[in-house]
Amino acid sequence: MAKDPVCNMEVDEKKAAATSTYKGKTYYFCAVACKKAFDANPGKYLALKR
pLDDT computed for residue 48 by the predictor: 63
Asked if residues 38 and 29 have their Cβ atoms less than 8 Å apart, the reply is yes
Where in the sequence is the domain holding 16, given as residue range(s)? 2-47
pLDDT tens sequence across 1-50 = 999 999 999 999 999 999 999 999 999 999 999 999 999 999 999 986 54
Q: Which of 38, 37, 32 is nearest to 16 (CA)?
A: 32
Cα distances from 35 to residues 24, 30, in angstroms, run 16, 8
Query: Cβ contacts of residue 8 below 8 Å, gap of 6+?
Result: none
Number of domains into which the chain is organized:
1
Residues 36, 41: Cα–Cα separation, whole Å: 9
Collect all residues with Cβ–Cβ distance below 8 Å to 50 and sequence separation of at least 6.
none
Look at residue 47 in the predicted model and tell me its pLDDT: 84
